[in-house]
Structure 1
């Protein structure tokens, strides 16, 4: 079947980079783009005139929240609340359990994947909190998630997250890591088993990857085994590291070195490695405040840094810096890592944060962030057929409407959209030639019912923090309201 879209603006691809096509057409057949230009004269089976819209390559989110949103709770928490609302040691030792049943976890995953699709994301690599699970992510849960992802039609890079330790609040209120090495080994076995599962599916929309958790929650042996399997099977590895001073301190305490040196020592720099968030390196003000070679090490190892500007800012952090990474040759791609999974808002925040960090208004222009959300993500995945709209590429594309007066007057459509718009303006998307979103809806999904079920599960997740808390405080104390409730009859 041959399909044509027309739009006022198409972010096409030419000579190795994006180029803005006005009043253009894009045609695809099967899963592949056949034509991008202004006057296609061949036959088509279906067509759509999107009018005043911007058609972009499908957005690539490589740290995509596939969970009920927790940042709305813990990004506001003062330090005395308990070090980020972690498990207490007593909970780890005696009481840990799954807050949700497998069926409820399936609802959580569906809710999150639908959110990605509604925000114009076509390719994703998932991230979920393990705080409300008994440990990490079981094999069966990821099998079910892959099934849901295929039904919606997204392109996923999936694997069960695994770890051999968990961050906990110790009895004196400080933070540490408690380990269960057998659970770590079991998790890695499940991860390799899932690689076999995705290979057997032979579905190009489901790709197996290795997703170990945070670097401080993995033993050195588990890191080495991850690197060994990744090299043997030629699969991607994504490992959260270089993301905080607490992580750096714990890694030094546990392993006697820095996180970057630990990556090197365990062989992970010799894999196809993605690192969210890449913030705490030698350039960080709390480390050395200057470049002493860390960016060169990352670039030489072809590591991709998954930059999540919106989430970093919500936790009071920032990349040092976007421009420095680019100049050093580090591949930058993007992630959302929280709700909303809005890469448009994330790109806008990133552009302006970069101005503050580097002290220049042109430190990270809008086009560099758009490239990170498309071409950078494709490079991280090793895919030359993603992140671009040109003949022969995969038909992954998304349309954002630009005709609302609230968007303001328009200069350059891409720059104006990033400054004034949000991903909620997405109306249509296609992955591998198949419609995923149509007129702002996900076919076959009851959004009203899904929203109701997700809210009920979030409320239960929120209540469960009390039993994990070191002092067993109630939710009102853990999560005080912005303002006191209005009481009728009081003066």
Structure 2
């Protein structure tokens, strides 16, 4: 079926940047866009969608998030401190103590309930492609891959485009209560989990009309052995799978790699062969000893830049814990590719675009740093390119019909003289009117059509009580 979206302001891709077309038209047939422009003179269409008073934008590529435990960490990771007598670095208590405890307390049914609720939230706020990074031994049957399969099925049923990356690692970490971390070895269990994740990635890739794809997701750079990371690269090359790892999360991680490998974080990635156009570093906050990206050594900067590695920033989760990324402007000036994700709640890319821009301006003490158009690029094209998908994140003939229609007929929006500034500095997920993925309507008039939202909310509320009752703090 051929459809046309008419009368809206279209953010069309011209090959190098998004350009606004007033009263433009987007035509798509089945899952592909066939025309974007001012005047359509092609064959008649079967259905017209009137976008008067709307912006028509490419769907967001939300490049890093966790659907299974995030809803149960609300209130436990924010405004939470280690005991007063414990001298710890920022983010230590939440990352090494609270987060593992919450994950351990969650059961399989709770995780699935959370997944349904989160997929609904992602859809209604305009994320059409999502990268879901699952967990391993902290929760779920000693690394049983079954939970990953159930979450993947939920993603497929949601109508979204999802990259599923079950995580694996060779060791785990935990806070010792005194400000230090300790690491334990998974041994044979770690290898078994790795093999199960690899099998899932190979066998599930391309399901749900190719809306479900997979990626290899070694857990954290400081919890994976060199052998596991090198095998990850081998499998990625053999099967054409992207890779994402958690890296640059904390100074503890950076120091750990220094102590055990006698390398920096980036050097360890170089040594194990991870870097490449298919490799994503999730977080990328602490990539040098002082957290200033300009302080990386020249060979590290060149390696990240020349390999076309992408750094995925998660600004809001860091900012609300007192941390900043220093900075997306520096990464841009260094020529290093970047994208955006929400990580945890809210799963609203508008919020993380706003935080990315604002935090960057504060860090750089510059009103012109973190420009709205650059941040919107990160949330669309940046994420698509990181996944090797030139057919996503763009409104252009030949691209997938993943389209979001945003209301501008509101007091908050009027008058819109710069759509990028409105989207980044003023809009939020509540302004999303319609979402299409592969040309199919997933959200209409702000309502998710593919998920029973009321039932999902009820189920996750009950699950939350069950999980929180198991916590020891």
TM-score by length of 2: 0.90
User: CA 1:135/1:267 → structure 2, altered by over 3 Å: closer, same or farther?
Assistant: farther
Contact kept in structure 1, 2:315 and 2:324, CA below 8 Å: yes
**Aligned mates of 2:142, 2:372 — CA distance in 1:** 37
**Aligned mates of 1:216, 1:346 — CA distance in 2:** 26
**Aligned mates of 1:442, 1:287 — CA distance in 2:** 41
Q: Which residue of 2 aligns with 1:194?
A: 200
Contact kept in structure 1, 2:277 and 2:388, CA below 8 Å: no
User: CA 1:12/1:136 → structure 2, altered by over 3 Å: closer, same or farther?
Assistant: farther
Q: Which residue of 1 aligns with 2:93?
A: 84
Partner deviation per Cα, 1:345-369 (whole Å, 9 max, x = no partner): 2111211211122222111210000
Among 228, 247, 262, the alignment partner of 2:268 is: 262
Larger radius of gyration between Structure 1 and Structure 2? 1
**Aligned mates of 2:142, 2:133 — CA distance in 1:** 11
Partner deviation per Cα, 1:23-66 (whole Å, 9 max, x = no partner): 11111001110111233243111121122111110100110231
1:116 aligns with 2:83: no
For 1:112-191, what aligned pairs fall within 5 Å after superposition? 112-128=118-134, 133=139, 138-170=144-176, 172=178, 174-191=180-197
Query: Where does the alignment leave 5 or more consecutive residues of structure 1 unmatched?
Result: 467-473, 475-491
For 1:20-39, what aligned pairs fall within 5 Å after superposition? 20-39=20-39
**Aligned mates of 2:208, 2:157 — CA distance in 1:** 15
SS at 1:80 equivalent: coil
CA shift at 1:77, angstroms?
Answer: 1.4
Among 289, 295, 298, the alignment partner of 1:290 is: 295
**Aligned mates of 1:319, 1:88 — CA distance in 2:** 22
- Superposition RMSD on alpha carbons, in Å? 2.7
Contact kept in structure 1, 2:156 and 2:208, CA below 8 Å: no
CA shift at 1:389, angstroms?
Answer: 0.5
1:247 aligns with 2:253: yes
Contact kept in structure 2, 1:159 and 1:194, CA below 8 Å: no
CA shift at 1:319, angstroms?
Answer: 2.0
CA shift at 1:203, angstroms?
Answer: 3.2
Among 349, 355, 366, the alignment partner of 2:372 is: 366
Q: Which residue of 2 aligns with 1:272?
A: 278
CA shift at 1:409, angstroms?
Answer: 4.0
For 1:12-51, what aligned pairs fall within 5 Å after superposition? 12-41=12-41, 42-51=43-52
For 1:287-436, what aligned pairs fall within 5 Å after superposition? 290-293=295-298, 294-407=300-413, 409-436=415-442
**Aligned mates of 1:413, 1:62 — CA distance in 2:** 22
**Aligned mates of 1:452, 1:345 — CA distance in 2:** 25
Contact kept in structure 1, 2:55 and 2:407, CA below 8 Å: yes
Partner deviation per Cα, 1:89-135 (whole Å, 9 max, x = no partner): 9xx9xx99964443332222111111111110000111356696157
Partner deviation per Cα, 1:211-235 (whole Å, 9 max, x = no partner): 1111122223222221222222221
Contact kept in structure 2, 1:86 and 1:131, CA below 8 Å: no
**Aligned mates of 1:18, 1:150 — CA distance in 2:** 29
Q: Which residue of 1 aligns with 2:89?
A: none
SS at 2:417 equivalent: coil
Q: Which residue of 1 aligns with 2:66?
A: 65
User: CA 1:423/1:88 → structure 2, altered by over 3 Å: closer, same or farther?
Assistant: closer
Mean CA deviation greater in 57-66 or 222-231: 222-231
